[in-house]
Structure formats: structure tokens, C-alpha cells
Amino acid sequence: MKKSFIYLALIFSISSCIDPVPPEFDYQSDLVVIDAMASTIPGTTFVNIKKTIFEYGRYSTSFISGCNVKIINSDTKEEVSFVEKESNYLVSKDFKLTPGSRWEMEVILPSGKHYRSESEFVPNEVAVDRISEKFTKELIFDESLGKYIAGHEISIDFQEPEDEQNFYYFQYRGFEKEIYCKLCDNGVYRSGNCVSQIENPLAKEYYTYLCDQSCWKINYNEEISLFEDEFTNGKKISNLLVGRVPFYSNQDILVEILQLNITKKAYKYFKSIKDIVDNNSGFNAPLPSALIGNFYNVNDSEDPILGRFTAAAGKSKSIFIKRGGINVRIVGEYKPPQPELLGDPLPNPITYEAPCLESSYQTGIKPLTWD
């Protein structure tokens, strides 16, 4: 996943700078990474808190549970608390920011470490006029496969405001109907968990469970897509490529583009990450810039903290893509439905369904523009 590499890039940037000689990377464990976003679009505010792990020669991150997380209006001092859900910290889906307001983030870890972000200004919203898609057989080059994979390019049109400097960060959410809500490898679904059947010689390799209601899985972009209006201020922007949706499934998909207007500081931060990822040609590639977020430890100025809280003014636009007739081989592992059957040598009760759990990656709420 590219997001994992982004965390690596963040870690490397602590002790590295631009240099003609390849830098030596200082692998560090137990560094806190806070990835936080709030916007004027309901349902898009989240906080992800992780720590870095280096073991068995590999880098990874682990979710930090049990944190106390708040977003605070810098002017009115209004506080909104987050709840922990599915390895994320979320607020009510109705919560949204207002253009012109200022907000900051507060995070207290279970250890008692107290982090705060700088105050972030919410810019003005810029509407998306039109959205379009184009299918291509060479969307993204997959290094693990050594070939290009197919998919859809998503482009938009919008009117750039005059006499106003704007910086855009684009995200997408892809909604597809879930085929099943649970898959248990070498196990069966009982009481909310997969129970191992690895010692049961009569059990199948895996079992699948239908959703107990209509359910959609949610996918997100793995690339960073940015745009600034330095040379286009006040002009009509047409056919701007803002997202690439890989062809991992032949199911119909609803793609919702989020056009987020962010501050210049936030833009420079994400641009640095994008440069690191895009220009990477191996772990010894020189880093384009040092990366500085906006979190700090309230009680210890020497404590390194990675990540950023970003406040954004957003507008969205959706497009429904029918993919059933596309004759291209799907990239990705697909396991056909394999339900439990009455009479199977499995622990009772025989189970056929699993719940559609409301989270950042799954929802039982039908997207409003689903065809």
C-alpha cells in the first residue's frame, strides 16, 4: 500500500535533507503519527493515530487505541469529541466545518502524552461543475506484478475563483455493493468473530457470509492528487485529472470526488509527501524536502510527532460507472462465495449472514446518487 510508504517517507524526513549523496535512513520505532482531516462535507472528518514499528527487518505502523480526541473551535472554544471505531476516530456523520472558521486538534494518548495541533483556517468552498470518466487499459503500473493494470481516469471541470489564491487536494470514495460481509479463512463466523477450524479436517478452506442488509464497501484513492491556481486564477478548469480507480472488480461503482480547498501550508505538506512518493526510485532516493507537520507535544517540545491536522472546505461530485461489460482481466484475488451448508461438520449454529458494520470502509446507507 502506498499509504505505508507515505509513513516511511514521514519517518525518513525527520533526519534527512536534500543532499547529492544518498541519505542514510534512521529507522525508529514508537514514533507517533497523527493523520487528521476535517472538512465542510459531512461524514469526511476523521483522525487516525498510529505508532511506527520496526521488527523482523520491516517497517509498519500499529493503531493506537484508547486515545482521547477532540476538535476545538479556536474562536468559540466549542469542543467536539471523537469516538473510536474500526481503527479510526470518528465524529457524528452530521458534523461539518464552516468556511472562515478556525479549528485545532487535541489528542491525549493512553500514556498521558498530550498533543495539540496549530490552529487551521477553513478556506472558501469551490464547486465542481462536471465530472467524467475514461477507461484505459494502462492506468497504473503495478511494480509487484511488473505490468500495467486497467482502470478509470476521473476528471472534473470547475470555475476557479478570481482574486483568491486556492490550493486543492482531491480525494475519492468508491462505493461498491458488498458480495458478502465476512470471509473466514480456515474458520467459521460465530458470535462476531472468525473461529478457527484449522484442525477440522472436514472443514473447507474458507467460508463466506452474506450481508444481513444492503451493504456497500468503500474504497479510497492511494495517490495524492493536488492542484494550485498560480497560473489559472479566475479561469475555467476543464478535464483536470483528479483520480485513478483501478479495475479490481467488475462490479458497478459510484465514485465520489471530494474537491478540498486547503491552506497553503497544508498544500506544501502534501506536496512534499507526493514528491517523495512520486520521485522514489528506491530507499536511497534523495528526499525533496524536510517534512514538518503541525502537531506538537504540549509538555515536551523535544518529542518528535509526525502527521498533520488539516481543515478543508469541500465540495463533492459523483459519477456512476457500469463495469459489467468491460472485457479486461481483473487484477486482485477473488474468492467465490462459499457458504456454510446444512449438515456441514461445523459447530452450531449453522450461520449464513454477517452484519454490515458501519465504518469508514463499509456502510449500509445507500449512496444518494447510486443508479
Best CA proximity match to 365, nearest among 209, 177, 216, 176: 216
Instruction: Say how many C-beta atoms besides its own lie within 10 A of residue 234's C-beta.
Output: 11
* Residue 121 belongs to some domain of the structure: yes
* Residue 291 belongs to some domain of the structure: yes
| Averaged pLDDT, 130-156 | 90
Sign of the Cα torsion 319, 322, 328, 334 reads positive
DSSP strand pairing (353-354 vs 206-211)? parallel
Q: How confident is the model at residue 16 (pLDDT cuts 50, 70, 90)?
A: very low
**C-beta separation of 313 from 122 below 8 A:** yes
Residue written as cell 487499459? 137
Cell numbers that stand for 235 in this block: 479561469
**C-beta separation of 204 from 338 below 8 A:** yes
The whole-model pTM stands at: 0.85
**3-state SS, residue 122:** coil
Count Cα atoms within 13 angstroms, Cβ side, for 71. Answer: 24
Q: How much of the chain is helix, strand and coil, in % rounded to 5?
A: 5, 45, 50
Cell numbers that stand for 110 in this block: 493512553
Q: How confident is the model at residue 5 (pLDDT cuts 50, 70, 90)?
A: very low
What pLDDT, in 10s, does the model give residues 243-277?
A: 999 988 888 999 999 999 999 999 999 998 888 87
- The single-letter DSSP state of residue 328 is S
* Residue 340 belongs to some domain of the structure: no
**C-beta separation of 109 from 64 below 8 A:** yes
Residues 6+ away with beta carbon under 8 Å from 169: 224, 225, 226, 260, 262, 266, 267, 270, 310, 312
Best CA proximity match to 14, nearest among 30, 2, 25: 25
Rg over CA atoms, the chain: 22
What pLDDT, in 10s, does the model give residues 145-189?
A: 788 889 999 999 999 998 889 999 999 999 999 989 999 999 999
Cell numbers that stand for 355 in this block: 452484519
Distance (Å) of CA 17 to CA 13, 272, 291, 295, 311: 7, 12, 9, 20, 27
Alpha carbons 212 and 247: distance in angstroms, whole number? 27
| Averaged pLDDT, 287-305 | 80
pLDDT at 216 over 70: yes
Alpha carbons 73 and 32: distance in angstroms, whole number? 24
* Residue 328 belongs to some domain of the structure: yes
* Residue 309 belongs to some domain of the structure: yes
* Residue 369 belongs to some domain of the structure: no
Count of domains for the chain: 1
Residues 6+ away with beta carbon under 8 Å from 284: 22, 23
* Residue 358 belongs to some domain of the structure: no
Q: Which of 94-108, 191-205, 290-304 has the lowest mean pLDDT?
A: 290-304
Beta strands of 178-304 (E only): which ranges? 182-185, 187-190, 193-196, 206-211, 216-220, 225-228, 236-246, 253-262, 295-297
pLDDT at 26 over 70: no
* Residue 263 belongs to some domain of the structure: yes
Q: 242: domain range? A: 2-178+215-334
Cell numbers that stand for 147 in this block: 505490468
